[in-house]
Structure formats: C-alpha cells, structure tokens
Amino acid sequence: MPISRLLSSSCRTCCRVLCVFVLTALAAPLHLAQAAEPKAAPASVNRLLAEEAVSSLSSGIRYRFGSTNPDRGLDCSAFVGYLFKEAVGEDLPRTAKEISDMGKHVGLNDMEPGDLVFFGKGKRHVSHVGIYVGGKKFIHASRKHGAVYESGLNEPYWQKHFSGARRLTTTLPRS
C-alpha cells in the first residue's frame, strides 16, 4: 500500500476520532446542566421540621430519659434529633445544651414554625428543647406527660424557664 494512501486513511481516522471527541465534549456540558437542574425548590428546613413535629403528636412516641430509640421512648433532645434526621437527613448533637449552640439565635417575636426553643435555668444551663410550631406553641418529649406533647410558651413554667430560640440550617453552623 502506498504511503500517501496510508496517510490519507490515517488522517480520515484521526478526523473521525477528533469529530467524535469534539461532539462528545460539546454535548457533555449540556447533559450535565440538565442533570444538575433541581426538579423543585427544596422545602425549608423549618417547615419540614414543624411538619414532622405536628405529625409526631399522633405517633405514640413515649418519653424515656436517656433513650434514643423511638420504639422504647425518647427524651427531649433525642426527640428533636430524631425528627431533624427524619426531616432533613442530618444528625444533631445528643444533648439539649449542645443543640442550643447550633444554628442562629432567633428573638422571641421573630420565631417561625420549626425553630427550636430551649429551656433551663438561664442560657448556660439549658436542659430541655422543643420545636416551635406557631401560635406560641411548641412540641416536645415531655417527662411530665410521659409522651410527645404540645405545650404553650405562655404557660408560667415555660415562661419562667425559657432560655432562647435557634433556627437551624442543613449546614448547622456553630455560632
């Protein structure tokens, strides 16, 4: 076979490979851009958490100090952590005090459903956590009631022991 014919065959093959490569390279960003587009805007963390809290009222979850097993019962921080994991797929620290260091501070008049409310003997002694659901109400695992329960922030006990509120995000920055 003459060299000129071999070169022209080799050039044609090279051109074909180059064309396939260029077309693939041009099509890939289009494919990736289409795949990266979200199908729907993600729901807010707060809304999901508030919905989970309201649903939990009829779940039959009992209160059990120190327990992290929903079948055996949950304490307040395990309850909030369990619902947060169900709502957004992320873990929270184990205790109410540790959770109170997460997210951003929210003023009493700026709270939205899904914000976390904390109680104790001052800000340094947080010992209880619940999920605010609006209307000055919050849902928590209540030792007194032995189950998940809805209480009012206007009740004298909760007013006296209110330590603050926090709003969580899925990245959970410490403040």
Residue 21 phi, psi (nearest 5): -60, -45
Distance CA 25, CA 128 (A): 56
Whether 11 sits among the annotated catalytic residues: the reply is no
Question: 62 in a domain, yes or no?
Answer: yes
Distance CA 51, CA 46 (A): 9
Question: 8 in a domain, yes or no?
Answer: yes
Whether 145 sits among the annotated catalytic residues: the reply is no
Q: Is the domain of 93 the same as that of 31?
A: no
Number of domains forming the structure of the chain: 2
User: What token pair was written down for 28?
Assistant: 């890939």
Residue of 15, 105, 125, 140 marked active site: 140
In 10 A of CB 120, how many CB atoms? 18
Q: Is the domain of 16 the same as that of 51?
A: no
DSSP the chain: --HHHHHHHHHHHHHHHHHHHHHHHHHHHHHHHHHHS-SSPPPPHHHHHHHHHHHHTTTTPBB-TT-EETTTEE-HHHHHHHHHHHHHS----SSHHHHTTBSEEE-GGG--TT-EEEEESSGGGEEEEEEEEETTEEEEEETTTTEEEEEETTSHHHHHHEEEEEE--TT--B-
Whether 76 sits among the annotated catalytic residues: the reply is yes
- Over residues 21-38, the pLDDT tens digits come to 444 454 544 444 444 433
Q: Over range 71-86, report the average pLDDT.
A: 96
CA–CA distance from 45 to each of 52, 65, 66 (Å)?
11, 26, 26
Residue of 76, 105, 145, 161 marked active site: 76
Question: 174 in a domain, yes or no?
Answer: no
Q: Is the domain of 115 the same as that of 58?
A: yes
Distance CA 74, CA 146 (A): 10
Q: Is the domain of 119 the same as that of 155?
A: yes
Q: Is the domain of 23 the same as that of 79?
A: no
Q: What is the CATH number of the domain that holds 127?
A: 3.90.1720.10
Q: Is the domain of 49 the same as that of 127?
A: yes
Q: Is the domain of 6 the same as that of 71?
A: no
Residue 11 domain boundaries = 1-36
Q: Which residues pair with 120 in a beta bridge?
A: 126
pTM: 0.73
Residue of 15, 125, 128, 145 marked active site: 128
- Over residues 155-171, the pLDDT tens digits come to 999 999 999 999 997 65
Q: What single letter denotes the amino acid at residue 7?
A: L
Q: Is the domain of 142 the same as that of 61?
A: yes
pLDDT at 15: 45
